[in-house]
Amino acid sequence: MEKILIVDDENDIAELISDILEDEGYFTVIKNNGTDAISAVKQDEFDLILLDVMMPDISGTEVCASIRNYTSCPIIFVTAKTGLSSKLVGFEVGADDYITKPFINEELVARVRAHLRREERTTKSKSNIIEIGEIKLNKESFEVYKNGKIVPLSTKEFELLSYLMENAGIVLSKELIYQSVWKNNYGDLGTVAVNIKSLRSKLDTEEKYIKTIWGMGYKFIRS
């Protein structure tokens, strides 16, 4: 369930927005001033933020500029201000969209849904890319780069590297690697060492990333 932060000093409006969104299946959190909103974002993760512009303690634009240091989620300003200059300032400090008060309930829901869908697509796209230090692996395009230059790998080398990078920081035994990459409980575990050696020759000649943990297995190091 997506979690949405609603920030508005007029609690009646905040409660109205909360009721509308919770009827659509979203979980909402209400804060009635900018200070509390900033604290909430520092302490918790939200999928989307609806932010009033005109608030007595800290303006919505100041809140937006501040919380952008802590979250990349969509921020939609909900405001009575309709002037172009106000919108431009909002976009400049990190807002993604504007909804003007008084708003139509259906439009509010539609915009929230649209931004959450876009965020979900972006997140899925990012999840296909693993980047640690100088090495970047794209599971979707089946490509590996080091320092921006593509490095050709065999299918098993790619799958092995992907498994190691997905589990960076964890010591993985040869048995576990073989079972996970070769999908087999029985076989020559020497195959793992051979492919590790090949990966090192292509990507990690200084053994900066793929470390041998003697008597245990291998670990991919986060540099």
pTM of the predicted protein model: 0.57
Q: What is the pLDDT of residues 18-73, one digit of tens each?
A: 999 999 999 999 999 999 999 999 999 899 999 999 898 899 999 999 998 888 89
N-to-C CA span, the chain: 34
Q: Are 160 and 198 in contact (CB under 8 A)?
A: no
Q: What is the pLDDT of the chain when averaged over all its residues?
A: 89
- CATH 3.40.50.2300 range(s) for the chain read 3-127
Question: What is the pLDDT, as a whole number, of residue 123?
Answer: 63
- Residues forming CATH 1.10.10.10 domain(s) in the chain: 129-220
Determine the pLDDT at residue 118.
Answer: 83
CATH numeric code, 129-220? 1.10.10.10
Is 125's pLDDT higher than 60?
no
CATH superfamily of the 3-127 domain: Response regulator (3.40.50.2300)
At 212 the pLDDT is 95
pLDDT at 1: 81
State pLDDT tens for residues 83-101.
666 678 778 888 889 898 8
